[in-house]
Amino acid sequence: MSVAVRFAPSPTGLLHVGNVRLALVNWLFARKAGGNFLLRLDDTDEERSKPEYAEGIERDLTWLGLTWDRFARESDRYGRYDEVAAALKAAGRLYPCYETPEELNLKRASLVSQGRPPIYDRAALRLTDADRARLESEGRKPHWRFKLEHTPVEWTDLVRGPVHFEGSALSDPVLIREDGRPLYTLTSVVDDADLAITHVIRGEDHVANTAVQIQIFEAVGGVVPVFAHLPLLTDATGQGLSKRLGSLSVASLREEEGIEPMALASLLAKLGTSDAIEPRLTLDELVAEFDIAKVSRATPKFDPEELLRLNARILHLLPFERVAGELAALGLDDADAAFWEAVRPNLSRVAEARDWWAVTHAPVAPAADDPAFLAEAAALLPEEPWDLSTWGTWTGAVKAKTGRKGKDLFLPLRRALTGRDHGPELKNLLPLIGRTRAQKRLAGETA
Ligand code: GLU
């Protein structure tokens, strides 16, 4: 059977780096196996699901290059969930319960105070038809719980190895709410079974869900997939990431932090694995290197500084074609490969190219603090056309004429030509600045 995986976010917030890491790992797993990747929106929480979050998820995945082969939306499938729920009721695996949230809280608190695990006591299973009729006549509506088998549940997790739960140590999960709507624990299994998902790769916050969901797969006659539960990313201080945490959202990394998609992908594919984090320019390279067996059980930390350093290393390697769109979006429509290659070694973010564009294409107030020397140098400027050899020829002549060398030779020229002490190699910048501007800047004029 061909490999099929899914990324199943709830569109209730922005994707953060932790969510999108799971999308990436699923995608890499699928591509490596020649399988397919499903994007499924878990949007049955109608109060919190929003179309703009769904759009945001698609935008973020597309930006990263994580194309999906199939798409599903749980809110399109209510009829199917009703059908499965009816079958589970008929088989006696779903039973109606009438406790209010307050009553359940009291039960839990009382068990916890006795030092016992807060497992639902199945009181609803002891209700008679008359009890139920009375509760319903009082206006109570049932929610429905799945009756777990009190047997061991075991699976071999691709990250955690053998996992064992006792059915009797788990609470019968609520699968249908009082208003008749199905909950994630059920809908996810129905979808995974119907859409023939072979591998469920998700965060370790779902390990206990897996124990109950395996029994649900069996009850609905679905094939139980292989599971892999990855440790969740934390922030640099070890705190968990939350979906509403704006600064680590994919959208803010893209739009505010100027992070390149391959910088994020290069980091997230390797974080928490035995591989070193290195800049990669294509997802294909990450696919080639991917192996879920390399994922470690230790909690990986996400460090924005590390991401920014990787972003810089990626920019230093990216060819002009890969950033032309971003440069144009910054208003640098005329930027070309020569400009990009000149400035990229000095960038951590593409937007910083604007500063160097201003140096090569807009008036600069030069720091012309050694006028006599600069005048001698200006007189030696070669005629155009200029190319990458012009700087060497020119400074060779200036050195011969003035006897200056090293910093004494180069720093005054840099300060006059760019107005700054540091920057891209002048060999690359000089032809972009051009003879007219260079001459004026050497004369101390803003040009
Ligand atoms: N919608 C669930 C979540 O975002 C999906 C979990 C799963 O992969 O089954 O946590």
The domains of the chain are located at 256-315, 320-354, 371-442
Cis link prior to 385 (omega < 30° from 0)? Answer: yes
- Asked whether the predicted pLDDT for residue 87 surpasses 80, the reply is yes
Task: Name the token pair of 180.
Answer: 């008749």
Spatial neighbors of 161 by CB under 8 A, at least 6 apart, are none
pLDDT confidence band for 445 (50 / 70 / 90): very high
**Average pLDDT of span 173-190:** 97
**Average pLDDT of span 189-213:** 97
CB atoms within 10 A of CB 102: 8
User: What is the value of pTM for the model shown?
Assistant: 0.94
- Asked whether the predicted pLDDT for residue 315 surpasses 90, the reply is yes
Q: Count Cα atoms within 13 angstroms, Cβ side, for 182.
A: 26
In 3D space, the residue among 315, 387, 390 whose CA is nearest the CA of residue 356 turns out to be 315
State the fold for domain 371-442: Arc Repressor Mutant, subunit A (1.10.10)
Pairwise CA distance, residues 230 & 21, whole Å: 10
Alpha-carbon radius of gyration of the chain: 31
Contact 30, 36 (CB under 8 A): yes
Ligand 1, residue 205: give the atom nearest the CA.
Answer: 10
- Asked whether the predicted pLDDT for residue 245 surpasses 80, the reply is no
pLDDT confidence band for 238 (50 / 70 / 90): confident
- Asked whether the predicted pLDDT for residue 244 surpasses 70, the reply is no
Pick the residue whose CA is nearest to atom 5 on ligand 1.
8
Spatial neighbors of 330 by CB under 8 A, at least 6 apart, are 350, 351, 353, 354
pLDDT confidence band for 243 (50 / 70 / 90): low
Architecture in CATH of 256-315: Orthogonal Bundle (1.10)
Q: Helix axis angle, 261-270 relative to 17-33, nearest 10°? A: 80
Ligand 1, residue 201: give the atom nearest the CA.
Answer: 8
Ligand 1, residue 9: give the atom nearest the CA.
Answer: 4
pLDDT confidence band for 134 (50 / 70 / 90): very high
pLDDT at 4: 98
- Asked whether the predicted pLDDT for residue 147 surpasses 60, the reply is yes
Pairwise CA distance, residues 28 & 22, whole Å: 10
Contact 316, 344 (CB under 8 A): yes
How many Å lie between the centroid of ligand 1 and the Cα of residue 246? 20
pLDDT at 247: 65
- Asked whether the predicted pLDDT for residue 242 surpasses 90, the reply is no
- Block residue for tokens 């990394």: 253
Pick the residue whose CA is nearest to atom 4 on ligand 1.
9
**Average pLDDT of span 52-67:** 98
pLDDT at 237: 84
Considering the chain, what percentage of its residues have pLDDT values greater than 90? 96
Eight-class DSSP state of 368: -
Contact 150, 215 (CB under 8 A): no
**Average pLDDT of span 406-421:** 97
Binding residues for ATP, by number, are 243
What residues flank ligand 1, with Cβ below 6 Å?
8-10, 42, 184, 188, 202, 206
- Asked whether the predicted pLDDT for residue 397 surpasses 80, the reply is yes
**Which of 188, 214, 227, 229 for a ligand 1 pocket mutation test, highest count of atoms within 8 Å of Cβ?**
188
**Which of 21, 42, 192 for a ligand 1 pocket mutation test, highest count of atoms within 8 Å of Cβ?**
42
Eight-class DSSP state of 182: B
pLDDT confidence band for 124 (50 / 70 / 90): very high
Amino acid occupying residue 425: E
Helix or strand or coil: residue 144? strand
**Which of 7, 206, 216, 232 for a ligand 1 pocket mutation test, highest count of atoms within 8 Å of Cβ?**
206
Helix or strand or coil: residue 282? coil
How many Å lie between the centroid of ligand 1 and the Cα of residue 9? 6
Pick the residue whose CA is nearest to atom 10 on ligand 1.
9
How many Å lie between the centroid of ligand 1 and the Cα of residue 199? 13
pLDDT confidence band for 240 (50 / 70 / 90): confident
pLDDT confidence band for 235 (50 / 70 / 90): confident
Pairwise CA distance, residues 94 & 89, whole Å: 5
Ligand 1, residue 10: give the atom nearest the CA.
Answer: 1
